[in-house]
Amino acid sequence: MGALLILLAVVAVVVVWIVGMYNGLVGLRNKCENAWSQVDVQLKRRYDLIPNLVETVKGYAKHEREVFEKVTQARTAAINAATVKDQGAAENQLAGALKTLFAVAEAYPDLKANQNFLMLQEELAGTESKIAYARQFYNDMVMKFNRMQQVFPSNIIAGMFHFQTREYFEIEEPAAKEPVKVQF
């Protein structure tokens, strides 16, 4: 009788422990998904801003066709990226193209004084830093999630229920850390 009770107690403890581990893993997976949707929201916001920006710059600098094409292409590539890794590469391209666009804008004083352009520039700079922060938060969550799947003993539970590690969202650090500078 006593032995049976002890056995039952041990089983109960093990079950509670497995449930706790499992729920922890599911919680982290949901946090990763939530963090990724934050990144996604900001990326979409940037895609929405770009056509406006291109139109505004076009009004003052008609001859810079190459630059506009490069930006538009990079934007399309970024929208169509399928995996987290591709997305990172495409965003790098886009960031580079935008940098060129702003460099070109420097040569047009009228454009730099345009209220609409200044607003778009601030919005874009704000969105870029939000992307950087959302990415940072996502990567932190992914790190926690992946670590829980790799360390003992939670790796046993993760293996049992086929949890999969997630990819980090990598963007070249300098481009992301130093968004388009805006001085007031």
Partner 1 sequence: MYEQIAANKRKSALIFFFFLLMIFALAYAFGALTGMGTGGLVFAALIAGGMSFLSYWTSDSIVLAISRAKPVTKEEYPFLFNVVEGLAIAAGIPAPRCYVIDDTAPNAFATGRTPAHSVICVTTGLLQKLNRVELEGVVAHEMSHIKNFDIRVQTLAVVMVGIIALLSDWIMRSLWWGGRGRRSGRGKSGNLGAVLVVVGIFFAIFGPIIAQLLRLAVSRKREFLADASGALLTRYPAGLASALRKIADDTEPLEAANKATAHLYIVNPLKDIKGAVNKLFSTHPPIEARIAALEKM
Q: Is the peptide bond before 174 cis (omega within 30 degrees of 0)?
A: no
Site string (40-59) toward partner 1, x via CB under 8 A? --x-----------------
> What tokens appear for 36 in the block?
């990724």
d(CA 13, CA 19): 10
- Binder of partner 1 out of 136, 144, 155, 168 (CB under 8 A): 136
Name the nearest CA neighbour of 45 among 174, 169, 131.
Answer: 131
- 104 to 123: interface string for partner 1, x by CB under 8 A: ---------------x--xx
| Sole binder of partner 1 in the list 108, 133, 144, 171 (CB under 8 A) | 133
Query: Which contacts of 71-78 are long-range, i.e. CB under 8 A and separated by 24 or more positions?
Result: 71/97, 71/98, 71/100, 71/101, 73/97, 75/47, 75/50, 78/43, 78/47
Task: Tell me, residue by residue from 145 to 184, as one string, x for binding to partner 1 by CB under 8 A and - for no binding.
Answer: --------------------------------x-x-xxxx
Query: Which residues here bind partner 1, judged by CB under 8 A?
Result: 35, 38, 42, 119, 122-123, 125-127, 129-130, 132-134, 136-137, 177, 179, 181-184
